[in-house]
Amino acid sequence: MKRARVPPFEREPEPLLGSHRTTARGIVLLVILGLAGGATAAPPPDPGKRPEKKQPATAVKPQTSRMVFPVVGKVQYTNDFGDARAQGGHQGNDIMAPRRALAVATEDGTVKFHTTSWAAGCMLYLYGKSGKTYLYIHLNNDLSSGNDNRGKCVAGTAYAPGLKDGAKVQAGQHIAYVGDSGDANGVAPHLHFELHPRGRGATNPFSALNSAARLLFASPPGKPFTLALTGTVSTTAGGLLQMKVTQLRSWPGGLKVTNVGRSLGVRVPDTAVVDGISAARGLGSVLSLLRKGLAVTVWTTRAPASLDAQLGRNGALSVDRVVVQTK
């Protein structure tokens, strides 16, 4: 598949790369909206090439297969596409998230690292199989939990550990870390996310983000994983333990995601252990021990990662152990 061309960020006009944080009005807006700028400027056309006709900004059309939301965990974003910035209209949506939150592939495709733009900082292109190109901008360049700027745009810091430039990835695969590199330095960490249909000008990704499938966790496809899900029991109907999950940890890595705010239905086999007692009397007896409102931590059975499991679909996760939280 021939890749559609998206203008490279290193061609941005340097005199226009003023920080959106330099005006009092910008600071007030940041406080009110909880958003950072991190905009990108439209670069000049390549020398010797006929200028392309400017495409009007349009809302993203509904997709038959929903894209995967590009950040895992609790986030905040608004419809800030086209908002005024020092270097022109905002070309994407800023997704506010914790520093080093996981950024994932929105669809199957190929990634390309981009590390030479002062404005974008650490950046990644995802060339999707659908023909869309996605831009992940202001990726992490910090080595500590603070804004130290001591890291480089490399795998393990900006990009997922072991990920290589030009690698093929699958939807939901971890590809990068959220940060504040480039002209977002010192502002709240966020992912500046752009969508370019078939190499044309950026279109507003807001409606696509609203309808995107939200991942519960990220993992390399097919790699064994285990989750610890903490929350409360909702029901035990239909052979599933339905629970409201408040936070989780995933292994390998032990990454913690707080404020999950998701309802899940997990399978509880008759081999599961509840409070350290083997449930030898069968599936029904295991579920009968768990009543509505009970605070629990559930350990899932180690299994290869699948998109269904990552999305937290009913029955996709199986339970190995349930620990009832006591006061």
CATH number of 224-324: 2.40.50
Q: What is the pTM of this model?
A: 0.72
Locate CATH 2.40.50 in the chain.
Answer: 224-324
**Whole-number Å distance between alpha carbons of 213 and 117:** 30
**Whole-number Å distance between alpha carbons of 264 and 273:** 19
Give which of 10, 160, 25, 164 is closest to 84, Cα–Cα: 25
**What is the DSSP-derived secondary structure letter of residue 190?**
E
pLDDT for residue 201: 85
| Close Cβ partners of 160 (under 8 Å, ≥ 6 residues apart) | 173, 174, 175, 176, 177
**Whole-number Å distance between alpha carbons of 44 and 66:** 33
The C-alpha angle 111, 116, 121, rounded to 5 degrees, equals: 80
Give which of 136, 139, 149, 147 is closest to 107, Cα–Cα: 136
Locate CATH 2.70.70.10 in the chain.
Answer: 22-40+66-211
CB under 8 A, 24+ apart: contacts of 315-321: 315/240, 315/265, 315/266, 315/267, 317/227, 317/264, 317/266, 317/267, 318/266, 318/267, 318/268, 318/269, 319/241, 319/266, 319/267, 319/268, 319/269, 319/272, 320/226, 320/272, 320/273, 321/272, 321/273, 321/274
**Whole-number Å distance between alpha carbons of 35 and 93:** 10
The amino acid occupying position 78 is: T
CB 282 within 8 A of CB 268: no
CB 232 within 8 A of CB 295: yes
Report residue 63 as tokens.
């997709």
Residue 239: phi and psi, rounded to 5, are 75, 5
Q: Would you give the end-to-end CA distance of the chain in angstroms?
A: 58
pLDDT for residue 37: 36
pLDDT per residue as tens, the chain (327 positions): 455 455 444 333 322 223 333 222 332 333 333 433 333 333 333 334 444 443 343 333 333 367 999 999 889 998 887 776 766 667 789 999 999 999 999 999 999 999 998 889 999 999 999 999 999 999 999 999 999 999 999 999 999 999 999 999 999 899 999 999 998 998 899 999 999 998 778 889 999 999 999 999 888 778 899 999 999 999 988 889 999 999 999 998 888 887 788 899 999 887 888 874 544 444 456 777 788 899 999 999 999 998 899 989 999 999 999 998 876
**Burial state string for 192-221 with b = 16 or more CB within 10 A and e = fewer than 16:** bbbbbbebbbbbbbbebbeebbbbbbbbbe
pLDDT for residue 123: 96
Report residue 265 as tokens.
């239905």
Give which of 163, 154, 217 is closest to 181, Cα–Cα: 154
pLDDT for residue 303: 94
Which is it for strands 174-177 and 88-89: parallel, antiparallel or unpaired?
A: unpaired
Under CATH, domain 22-40+66-211 is a member of which superfamily?
Glucose Permease (Domain IIA) (2.70.70.10)
pLDDT for residue 55: 39
Lookup result for tokens 């989780």: 248
